[in-house]
Amino acid sequence: MQFVEKKENKKCRKHHYVLTLKYLSDISDIRKMEGYIFDIKKFAVHDGPGIRTTVFLSGCPLSCFWCHNPESRLPLDADNSNRMVTSEEILEEIRKDTALYDESEGGVTFSGGEPLFQFDFLFDLLKLSKKAGFHTTVDTSGYASSEKIETIASVTDLFLYDIKILNSEKHKEFTGVDNKMILSNIKKLAELGKEIIVRIPLIPGYNDGDDDLKETAGFIKKIKGISHIDLLPYHRLGISKYKKLDLELKMKDIWPSDKEKIYKAKNLFEDFGFKVGIGS
Ligand code: SF4
């Protein structure tokens, strides 16, 4: 794959379109790489439009207190839930449900962990998926360099993009990383004209107060082209994994919010003019 030079006007959509063509014309250079995954979910209906296959790539640079996929944060080559596969093997699996994608206008979603953590593998999977004609979605925390985000964007139809909290100190305290890059990357994707659905985990006592939610809503409102938000209420389904993996569980005394509080948050975002879904 020939590396594409940065150009002064790379932010504009025209240049992005040229980049997309460039990547797709280099498709014969796809390396059929090896990478690590920890799950594949068939018939997924909450990870983008239609019926989808969701591939969960291992690895994540964040360490959110509430993570319900803690296996994704283990070292990739450890003897654990991660397994090594080739991108061709994954595509074979995805291809099995082509008829379902066609009927439902679905496709493939790459999630994690943080899928950009295995950038080369993800890029390979996305190129193969586009070559096969599938709609592609990337479910991301946005924590990656702007160059990587732009490269992935050239072969991604939809981003499911997490915004956890605007307050950078709280963000660092509860996820282990600063949110500067995350907030900048979502603006970049919007400038490129990419379709984005923002996902907000609602974590009791962390980011579900009115002030934090209003700050988040105000930030997203200023980004052109984003109209849809999914709220993801905190649940405890993944907590048994912490014990099994011998990881510290920092949310042991935090319990899911009641429906009233979740709908109050939904109304708040609707008041800002967003279409709001409640996911899981
Ligand atoms: S970004 Fe997602 S996968 Fe990574 S630690 Fe946070 S919740 Fe878990």
pLDDT tens track for 132-155: 999 999 999 999 999 999 999 999
pLDDT of residue 153: 98
| Tens digit of each residue's pLDDT (9 = 90 or more) over 191-211 | 999 999 999 999 999 999 999
The CB of 39 under 6 Å from ligand 1? The reply is: no
For 92-101, 152-161, 232-241, which range has the lowest pLDDT when averaged over its residues? 232-241
Q: What single DSSP character describes residue 30?
A: -
Q: With 0-12 CB in 10 A as exposed, 13-18 as middle and 19+ as buried, what is 261?
A: middle
Return the CATH number of 32-278, one of 3.90.850.10, 3.20.20.70, 1.20.200.10, 3.50.50.60: 3.20.20.70
Q: Among 47, 67, 138, which is best to mutate for testing ligand 1, by the most ligand atoms less than 8 A from CB? A: 67
Output the average pLDDT for the chain.
89
The CB of 141 under 6 Å from ligand 1? The reply is: yes
pLDDT of residue 228: 97
**Dihedral of CA 240/243/244/248: which sign?**
positive
The CB of 139 under 6 Å from ligand 1? The reply is: no
Residues 6+ apart with CB under 8 A from 88: 32, 128
Residues 6+ apart with CB under 8 A from 120: 31, 33, 35
Give residue 88 CA to ligand 1 midpoint distance, Å. Answer: 26
The CB of 113 under 6 Å from ligand 1? The reply is: yes
* Helix pair angle (146-153, 180-191), 10° resolution: 30
| Tens digit of each residue's pLDDT (9 = 90 or more) over 57-66 | 999 999 999 9
Given a cut of 70, whether residue 88 has pLDDT beyond it is yes
> For residues 93 and 26, which has the higher predicted lDDT (pLDDT)?
93
Mean pLDDT value across residues 71-79: 76
Nearest CA residue ID for atom 7, ligand 1: 67
Threshold 0.85, pTM exceeds:
yes
Given a cut of 60, whether residue 75 has pLDDT beyond it is yes
Query: Which numbered atom of ligand 1 lies nearest the CA of 143?
Result: 1
CA distances from 173 to 67, 167, 241 (A): 14, 10, 22
Domain boundaries, the chain: 32-278
Mean pLDDT value across residues 38-58: 97
pLDDT of residue 104: 98
